Chain A
């Protein structure tokens, strides 16, 4: 049984921890709002981009022209590059490990199919998680820890890297892993194929409208060059989207994790206080009994 002093110390230390988690929760809440705003503000660009691209793509397939390798692939799919995006900081619940787990499941699946897998880690936590099993597969680690606010420049850096590697023929298929932000409580680890590009299924909703629009557009310089240009730009836009979604998800996950940590600390303090009081009372009773029995013995 712990002594009274031990219990007092423990209560004090749990209280200090609760203060920290509470502060972290509030910081995460504030950052979450900003991250969410950034993710929302970035949406129009991605939407317009994919609209124009799917228009173009429809026009191209009708015309039967050669499409870019960024769209149709290299013809093989032997070498897979997985871009694993995680946070640079921990203490955010299952956020980092969920993404790493999804990536790991795919690595195992691809390796069983006999494909070569390469990894590019964005954010140090993912690299740490995957390093244990797949250190030799990690080509490069990119970390944005020093960057206060993710801007497009960071995404552009990653996309340049990817394009250079693709041109050098280092991989055939590129998939990006990040956590999609659904709500504060819910973040879904997602794998999104970047190269060859896939158009989102959501485009089908307005397919009739855009198909008619495609018929009347003129293109300058020409469709092939334009599509090629857009596909390259699109990688940057997708990476940027992944980074922002991840940023919002990270803060959401941290907020929930810290909220439950704060609550747990509160419960623990209550329990400890009860046993502290009980023990104190037991000690008083014991001392009283000693005094009384001492007096009776006289």
Chain B
């Protein structure tokens, strides 16, 4: 499908990204979602993982944690408590995130938390 839609990534501290894109892949709790322009209105919680912004010369990846996405046919808003761009991220930064996720996995008290921590780990180790 041709055309673009407006993608905004907002963290509690500021608006991290606001631009027109063609295709975004989100890590939904129940599985990954690819978003193209004209998507049906939907609100979805995200599991910790990477958002891929596809379009232009290369695909950009952003790691998000504790977030949710809201889309209408021509906009996509992602609100995430933690968002780290993985383009040009230092190896040590990623290692830091992995360590945090491992810690969370160790501390996880129920299945829900364990699932979240595991998903973060999987996403980060895949890098």
Contacts and interface: CB of A to CB of B under 8 A. Distances in A.
- A complexed with B: yes
Interface of A: 38, 41-42, 44-46, 48-49, 52, 55-56, 151-152, 155-156, 213, 216-221, 225-226, 229-230, 233, 236-237, 240
Contacts of B45: 220-221, 225-226, 229
A160 B10 CA distance: 21
Given A216-B41, A217-B41, A220-B30, A41 B68 contact: no
B44 to A, nearest CB: 4
Contacts of A151: 13
Given A52-B43, A221-B29, A226 B68 contact: yes
A41 B14 CA distance: 5
Interface residues of B, number: 23
B12 A236 contact: yes
B113 interface: no
Given A152-B81, A220-B29, A233-B66, A41 B41 contact: no
A230 B14 contact: no
A218 B81 contact: no
Interface string B9-25: 01111110000000000
Nearest to B67: A233
Interface string B81-105: 1100000000000000000000000
A48 B13 contact: no
> Which of B13, B15, B72 gathers the greatest number of chain A CB atoms within 10 Å?
B13
B52 to A, nearest CB: 19
